[in-house]
Amino acid sequence: MLFLALVVIEWWGGDCEVVVGTGIEGCEWVSSEGIEGIGGISSAGMEMGGWMLDSCAIERTILLNLKQQWGNLPFIQSWNSFSSPCDWPEIRCTNGRATGIILRNKNITEKIPPSICDLENLAVIDLAYNCIPGEFPTALYNCSKLEYLDLSQNYFLGPISAVIDGISTLRYIDLDGNNFNNDIPPAIGWLPELQTLYLYQNEFNGTFPAEIDNLSNIEVLGMAYNDFVPMAIPPEFGKLKKLKFMWMSVTNLINEIP
Ligand SMILES: *[C@@H]1O[C@H](CO)[C@@H](O)[C@H](O)[C@H]1NC(C)=O
Ligand SMILES: *[C@@H]1O[C@H](CO)[C@@H](O)[C@H](O)[C@H]1NC(C)=O
Ligand SMILES: *[C@@H]1O[C@H](CO)[C@@H](O)[C@H](O)[C@H]1NC(C)=O
Ligand SMILES: *[C@@H]1O[C@H](CO)[C@@H](O)[C@H](O)[C@H]1NC(C)=O
């Protein structure tokens, strides 16, 4: 019995491309009979009609739904129900799970569907150079492992007041080339891992918060081409010991860099 259980575990953990039994092509399926020995359903799986649908097939379903909600994206040809998402050029995988979605310049004109965060290992979202409209996509707060977010060069607008809430794992944020406005929110200070923050070429017309001094890991800060309220460079910037690159031209900041 123990031996059987081990075999099943290996099937689950196996590479997405291996086809098991009569499963749908590209992803593996395990008969639910096979799991009796270890008494239950794996957290990576979901029982469907007596079959164990593995995480590869679940993630493929999520991704194909995303593609559909985005209007089927003619520029994405390889996403189909016959292959593993790990074989699609726009998807990055680690251990057979989708960890990155890279759709730069794919003519996306619709909002980001909240179901994107159903990809529970997602660490990288790069949707730069599209035409995504609307306010900051708060649905992304549910992507609890997100480290890298690039939404640059889209049509986002409005404040980023709570942008950052709940995604404390973020290391890289690029929001340049949108129409975000108002202040940089104090919530910025809740991103202890943040190394890169690009906010240039937006319509920020407020101030930065003192909480910026909490960004102890920040290395790159790009704020140029905004319309901040004229102010001296905040003394808090002097505490950012790892800062290597700061791009502040045309931002209405005066005085010297602390
Ligand atoms: C981009 O998408 C829009 C709306 O879906 C469509 O009208 C347009 O033709 C697309 N552009 C290209 C280059 O495919
Ligand atoms: C996160 O997901 C939960 C469950 O799907 C949902 O109820 C909640 O509204 C989502 N949060 C955001 C900020 O979208
Ligand atoms: C600064 O970061 C710490 C640790 O992440 C956090 O507990 C604290 O609330 C942050 N302070 C501000 C003002 O954001
Ligand atoms: C910034 O711009 C927005 C949108 O035009 C406006 O509603 C807001 O009052 C402005 N804020 C400041 C501080 O000027």
Class of CATH domain 132-254: alpha beta
Closest-approaching ligand to the CA atom of 179:
4
What are the pLDDT digits (tens) for 57-106? Answer: 999 999 999 999 998 888 888 999 989 999 999 999 998 899 999 999 99
Which residue has its alpha carbon closest to ligand 3 atom 13? Answer: 211
Residue 64 structure tokens? 């194909």
Residue 30 structure tokens? 């395990």
User: Which residues are CB-contacts of 12 (< 8 A; sequence separation ≥ 6)?
Assistant: 28, 30, 42, 44, 45, 52, 54
User: Which residues are CB-contacts of 7 (< 8 A; sequence separation ≥ 6)?
Assistant: none
Nearest-atom index, ligand 4, CA of 183: 13
Cα 159 to Cα 15, 79, 133, 134, 166: the distances in Å are: 43, 34, 14, 11, 17
Average pLDDT, stretch 39-59? 56
Least confident of 64-68, 99-103, 161-165, 175-179: 161-165
pLDDT above 60 for 20: no
Instruction: Return d(Cα 203, Cα 198) in angstroms, integer.
Output: 13
Do β-strands 29-31 and 51-53 pair in parallel, antiparallel, or remain unpaired?
antiparallel
pTM of the model: 0.81
Nearest-atom index, ligand 4, CA of 182: 1
Per-residue pLDDT, 61: 95
Alpha helices in the chain (DSSP H): 2-13, 55-69
Average pLDDT, stretch 218-247? 85
pLDDT above 70 for 113: yes
pLDDT above 90 for 248: no
Kindly state the percentage of the chain with pLDDT values over 90: 47
Least confident of 75-84, 106-115, 123-132, 158-167: 158-167
Per-residue pLDDT, 86: 93
Residue from 25, 27, 31, 1 nearest 14 by CA: 27
The full set of domain ranges for the chain reads 132-254
pLDDT above 70 for 6: no
